[in-house]
Amino acid sequence: MPDRRAAAPVPEVRSLRRDVSVWGSFMWGFADVGADIYAALGIVIAATMGAAPLAFAAAGLVYIMIGLAYTELASAYPLAGGGQYFVSRGVGDVAGFIAGSALLLDYTIDIALFAVFSAGYINFFFPAIRNFTVTLGPFPVIGTLPHIAPLWAAETFLLIGLLTWLNVRGVRESSLLNEFIGAFGLVVEAGLIIIGLVFAWKPELLVDQMIHQFPTLNQFMYGSSLAIISYVGLESISQAAQETRRPATVIPRTSIGLIGSVFLFAVFFSITGLGVLPWQAYAQDVDHSVALFASRLPFIGPMAGPLTAVLGAVILLISSNTGIMGASRLVYSMSQLNLMTPWFREVHPRYRTPARSILVFSGIGLLEALLAFLTPSAVDALANMYAFGATLGYTLVFVALISLRINDPYSPRPYRVPLNVRWHRGDGQMIAVPIIGLLGLLGVLITLAEVVLTHAIGRIAGPAWVLLCLVYYVLYRRRQGLPVWRSVKHQWEEQQRAVLKDAEEFDLLEEYEFALAQRNRQRARGQAHA
């Protein structure tokens, strides 16, 4: 009987149609990342009060370094899978699975959190639904559960159910619709900031809150770690890398533009918002804070408030749908690397969609939403979990960036993270050590520590999720006869050749072949001298 533990998965690069342009790639990302401010603005201001602009800026600096790391990795390895694939290739199977489980946590929370906020923006028109609460209990163990919002919860469950049904049937928003909504959202957000600054902004109100209503250190740590929510979604560009035309050129342009625009929007929304209304107003309406801000603008407020509420509801619903699609795509990538069972990516016999993964992970998202509504604040509970998954995943991506610079210096990198130090290692190979990668790793570790120290739900439920996933991983690998704590042998070089050929990056393919040939000659000379 053959030794199954020695078997390596056959490298498989499915040729997705590469039809995403620079504009399409940017709007694909902005429709996802640009929606985050609709969710993050209120909860971050409620937590950090007058220091909200500093919280957004602090998280934004870490986000910029994360974005640069993703830009390098996605343009060098233009495959679906995102952070999980980078970590698997750079660090190993176990780390890759942990990164994948963190991203799966984010995708399921994505489904729940953005559905909750989408319903919240709908309730801009129906405040009685949001304000209707009941008290449940007493229960033998947990006691009384006050202020449960059953109608808001029912709206959320209905939206998740609708998205699940549409995805199982294979109905999803088109790239063109993403581009249209993303472009419309970009114009609306820019317009709100400009009009707010010109006609409604009171710098004395902003300064007074920053001086006299500054948070404690614990509150600032909590809020700044929540602010990372306004920047997550870079995975969407790397997930789309395998469908992007000429990714070596497109991805760097797309990512740099997205990083800059989202950072400016997040910081300027908080600066403008606190100069128009006191922070207490946003704290009372965290579920539709951007619509509240728009409704208070002079001249256009009566029209801008409802318009922003409708746009927020739609763009947040699309982001919730991104969680469903992202989970199925991530599971597909993980199953190809023997990190998960292929059972999850089996397609529906009629609709030809990965119905199993859609139903399972949408169901997990719905369960997370249900549990969140049993807490004092559903949005806070989900944001806690979201921040943990994002920071853990980003930590491992930085490790992968550094590791791949050392272990795979041969793959062409159309874009490199700036500020590198040259290091000539023992075999004569020159390694460019990324200083920003090291600083980014430190920054995201600090953010992860803030999450663990200040997020009561995140520090318990987040690690519990990862441990539960690891139990599944151990059982699956043992059942398949694969090594549990070691990596199976992957044919990365053959896969890289296939990817570059499929992307029609022939110049990079030639550069890659030349680097490998030079490496092989050096190895042959070393063996001859030995």
pLDDT digits (tens, 9 = 90+) for 294-346: 999 999 999 999 999 999 999 899 889 888 888 887 888 898 899 999 898 78
Q: Check residue 14 and give its pLDDT.
A: 46
Residue 525 domain-assigned? no
202, 271 contact by CB (below 8 A):
no
Q: Is the pLDDT at 23 greater than 70, yes or no?
A: no
SS (H, E, C) 355-411: HHHHHHHHHHHHHHHHHHHCCCCHHHHHHHHHHHHHHHHHHHHHHHHHHHHHHCCCC
Residue 446 domain-assigned? yes
DSSP string of 146-193, one letter each residue: EEE-HHHHHHHHHHHHHHHHHHHTT----HHHHHHHHHHHHHHHHHHH
Q: Which two tokens stand for residue 93?
A: 């199977």
Query: Which of the four pLDDT bands, split at 50, 70 and 90, describes residue 255?
Result: confident
Q: Which residues contact 437 (CB under 8 A, 6 or more apart)?
A: 65, 69, 398, 401, 402, 405, 417
Give per-residue pLDDT as tens, 113-161.
999 999 999 999 999 998 898 887 676 656 666 678 999 999 999 999 9
26 or 271, greater pLDDT:
271
Give per-residue pLDDT as tens, 148-198.
899 999 999 999 999 999 888 875 555 566 677 778 888 999 999 999 999
The pTM for the full model equals 0.89
Q: Check residue 3 and give its pLDDT.
A: 39
Q: CA-to-CA distance for 35 and 29, rounded, in angstroms?
A: 10
253 or 487, greater pLDDT:
487
Number of domains composing the chain: 1
Average pLDDT, integer, range 211-224: 95
Average pLDDT, integer, range 469-477: 96
Listed range (14-23, 42-51, 435-444) with the worst mean pLDDT: 14-23
Average pLDDT, integer, range 252-277: 91
Residue 507 domain-assigned? no
Residue 430 domain-assigned? no
Percent of the chain exceeding pLDDT 90 equals 62
Q: What is the CATH number of the domain that holds 479?
A: 1.20.1740.10
Listed range (2-11, 100-109, 259-268) with the worst mean pLDDT: 2-11
- Average model confidence (pLDDT) for the chain? 87
Q: Which two tokens stand for residue 103?
A: 């991203």
Average pLDDT, integer, range 203-219: 96
Q: CA-to-CA distance for 117 and 100, rounded, in angstroms?
A: 25
28 or 115, greater pLDDT:
115
φ, ψ (nearest 5 deg) of residue 250: -75, -45
Give per-residue pLDDT as tens, 344-376.
878 888 888 888 999 999 999 999 999 999 888
Q: Check residue 45 and give its pLDDT.
A: 97
Listed range (72-81, 244-253, 354-363, 449-458) with the worst mean pLDDT: 244-253
Residue 346 domain-assigned? yes
The residue with tokens 């999850």 is: 344
Q: 10 Å Cβ neighbour count for 467?
A: 10
Query: Which of the four pLDDT bands, split at 50, 70 and 90, describes residue 290?
Result: very high
For 143, the 3-state DSSP assignment is: strand
- Domain that residue 195 falls in: 18-394+439-491
Between helix 217-226 and helix 36-48 the angle, nearest 10°, is 180
Residue 529 domain-assigned? no
Q: CA-to-CA distance for 339 and 337, rounded, in angstroms?
A: 6
Residue 506 domain-assigned? no
Residue 517 domain-assigned? no
Q: CA-to-CA distance for 138 and 180, rounded, in angstroms?
A: 49
Pick the closest to residue 329 from 32, 27, 103 (CA basis).
103
Percent of the chain exceeding pLDDT 70 equals 88
Cα dihedral 50→54→59→65 (10° resolution): 170
DSSP string of 394-458, one letter each residue: HHHHHHHHHHHHHH-TTS--SS--S-EEEEE-TTS-EEEEEHHHHHHHHHHHHHHHHHHHH-TTH
